[in-house]
């Protein structure tokens, strides 16, 4: 049990399964069967999954759902969502339906600039480095032409390279801070290839630069890598309507609008609340990012850095009431791709893209920002009216009943029983016991 292993990566899939089952599980036979039960019956589909990552032994399924009725800039969308948490898709759908009759969502891409940096050490005179950089800037760009040619033909490429003096933070530390336009590609490989070439040219040119001392010639490249912080690759999504149109059961439209604005103000002022508030937004954003095969870790890291750009972690959404109009909006950075990566490999991602009418990266930015805004609207709407548990637990009921081993007919009866009652673990247990006795 719990043994180390040599050469695991070279084992066949069967060998890997046997090894993990025998060494790390109490019921090896059942573990093997379970892992194989999740294999796709279509060998070609399974092979694609096997090759996405390394040491694959099975598939880990997440539900793929649809939130319909989104009206975005006058066009109808049904949005694919991949997520494990109950009530998220229902909440998005409910928010979409709410805004469908109130003008829908309006969106605007504010920028598409991607960033990458070559981090290097230079021991010497900063003004000489600056002059050297100005002299070689064109060579830096020229030497990447083999990598940038196709991207440039499509209208993208390297948009700028700047020398940044970071010696305030770390002795001898400088950067080539580079910006890129990568169009419909997320661009990580393109950017990293460009950066590695820029680093190579920088080092070569420095070592031959006649104005440098020996120490200055020995530029030390530390690393070359894109940044997932993209504060100029942002999108805005917005909904608005007259306050009177916000009819809510048991609350006047004015009180509802005021509470929604207060809820956003609290998330702006209070980091403990902001994190949960933004988590609710990420329920929507991550689910569409995953369904469309994009990199949710990159998106998460970039968005949370953006939420803290003012020095304090704060709300990603905003709300106002002006001249009787309630306005609710989000501004988020989203570096996405609609070509390359999983988008051309994963059959369900391809279908998700088709359902979204094969969007460009800019269109996908707008759709995903809307999913985040809708999610936040739905969560805040529940929080300031009924409380979150009523709707959330109603959606969670089937999970609770499944955990308790309820049969299909019991589930049917209990879903009906809880239609007008608040669900909790204890209430579900009691109701199931009553039903059985």
Q: Which residues are catalytic?
A: 85, 279, 295, 392
C-beta separation of 217 from 206 below 8 A? yes
Please select the residue that binds ligand HMG; options are 48, 78, 90, 321, rule is CB under 6 A: 90
Shortest distance (Å) from residue 266 CB to ligand HMG: 10
Question: Which residue's Cβ lies closest to ligand HMG?
Answer: 391
CB of residue 107 vs ligand HMG: minimum separation in angstroms?
21
Should residue 182 be labelled a site residue for ligand HMG when binding is judged by CB under 6 A?
Answer: no
Piece of 28-36, 103-111, 278-286, 338-346 that binds ligand HMG (CB under 6 A)? 278-286
Tell me how far, at minimum, the Cβ of 221 lies from ligand HMG, in Å: 43
Closest among 86, 110, 75, 107 to 372, alpha carbons compared = 107
Contact map string, positions 374 to 403, toward ligand HMG, x by CB under 6 A: ----xx--xx----x--xx-xx--------
Question: Judged by CB, which is closer to ligand HMG: 118, or 378?
Answer: 378
CB of 418 to ligand HMG, least distance (A): 11
Binding marks (x or -) toward ligand HMG, 135..174, rule CB under 6 A? ----------------------------------------
**Nearest approach, Cβ of 86 to ligand HMG (angstroms)?**
8
CB 253 within 8 A of CB 244: yes
Among 276, 312, 320, 389, binds ligand HMG (CB under 6 A): 276
Strand boundaries in 210-364, DSSP class E: 220-227, 234-242, 317-322, 325-333
CB-nearer residue toward ligand HMG: 321 or 383: 383
Part of the chain binding ligand HMG (CB under 6 A), chosen from 138-146, 274-282, 345-353, 420-428: 274-282
Residue 339: DSSP 8-state: B
Is the CB of residue 144 less than 8 Å from the CB of residue 197? yes
Which residues touch 119 (CB under 8 Å, ≥6 apart)? 173, 175, 221, 222, 223, 224, 225
The residue from 87, 112, 117, 343 that contacts ligand HMG (CB under 6 A) is: 87
Q: How open is the CA angle 23-24-26, to the nearest 5 degrees?
A: 100
Alpha-helical runs (H) found in 88-218: 88-100, 126-143, 145-153, 188-207, 214-217
Q: Is the dihedral of CA 311, 313, 317, 323 positive or negative?
A: negative
CA distance 374 to 222: 42
Size of the site for ligand HMG (CB under 6 A): 23
Helices (H) and strands (E) in the chain, counts: 16, 10
Q: Which of 13, 18, 97, 200 binds ligand HMG (CB under 6 A)?
A: 97
Based on the number of CB atoms within 10 Å of its own CB, is 243 exposed (0-12), middle (13-18) or buried (19 or more)? middle
Distance (Å, whole) CA 7 – CA 24: 17
Minimum gap (Å) between residue 245 Cβ and ligand HMG = 17
The yes or no reply on residue 94 touching ligand HMG (CB under 6 A) is yes
Q: Which residues of the chain form contacts with ligand HMG (CB under 6 A)?
A: 85, 87-91, 93-94, 97, 276-277, 279-280, 283, 378-379, 382-383, 388, 391-392, 394-395
């Amino acid at each position: 049990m719990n043994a180390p292993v040599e050469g695991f990566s070279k084992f066949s899939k069967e060998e890997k399964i046997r090894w993990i089952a025998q060494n790390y599980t109490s019921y090896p036979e059942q573990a093997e069967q379970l892992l194989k039960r999740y294999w796709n019956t279509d060998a070609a589909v399974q092979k694609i999954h096997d090759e996405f990552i390394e040491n694959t032994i099975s598939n880990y399924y997440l539900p793929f759902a649809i939130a319909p009725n989104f009206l975005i800039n006058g066009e109808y969308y049904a949005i694919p969502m991949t997520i494990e948490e109950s009530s998220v898709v229902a909440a998005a759908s409910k928010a979409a339906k709410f805004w469908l009759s109130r003008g829908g969502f309006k969106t605007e891409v504010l920028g598409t600039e991607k960033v990458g940096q070559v981090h290097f050490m230079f021991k010497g005179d900063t003004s000489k480095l600056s002059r050297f950089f100005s002299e070689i800037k064109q060579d830096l760009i020229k030497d990447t032409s083999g990598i940038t040619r196709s991207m440039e033909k499509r209208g993208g490429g390297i948009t700028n390279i700047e020398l940044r003096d970071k010696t305030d933070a770390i002795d001898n530390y400088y950067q080539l801070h580079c910006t890129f336009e990568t169009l419909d590609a997320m661009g990580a490989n393109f950017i990293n290839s460009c950066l590695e070439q820029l680093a190579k040219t920088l080092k070569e040119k420095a070592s031959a630069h006649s104005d440098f001392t020996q120490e200055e010639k020995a530029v030390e490249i530390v690393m070359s890598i894109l940044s997932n912080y993209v504060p100029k690759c942002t999108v805005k999504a917005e909904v608005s309507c007259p306050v009177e149109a916000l009819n809510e059961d048991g609350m006047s439209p004015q009180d509802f609008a005021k509470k929604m604005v207060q809820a956003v103000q609290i998330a702006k002022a209070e980091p403990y609340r902001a994190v949960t508030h933004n988590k609710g937004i990420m329920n929507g954003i991550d689910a569409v990012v995953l369904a469309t095969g994009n990199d949710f870790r990159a998106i998460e890291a970039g968005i949370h850095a953006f939420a803290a750009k003012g020095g304090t972690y704060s709300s990603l959404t905003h709300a106002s009431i002006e001249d009787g109009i309630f306005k609710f909006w989000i501004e988020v950075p989203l570096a996405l791709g609609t070509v390359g990566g999983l988008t051309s490999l994963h059959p369900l991602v391809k279908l998700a893209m088709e359902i979204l009418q094969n969007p460009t990266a800019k269109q996908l930015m707008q759709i995903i920002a809307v999913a985040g805004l809708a999610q936040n609207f739905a969560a805040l709407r529940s929080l300031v009216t009924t409380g979150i548990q009523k709707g959330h637990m109603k959606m969670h009921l089937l999970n609770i009943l499944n955990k308790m081993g309820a049969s299909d007919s019991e589930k049917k009866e209990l879903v009906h029983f809880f239609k007008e009652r608040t669900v909790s673990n204890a209430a579900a247990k009691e109701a199931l016991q009553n039903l059985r006795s």
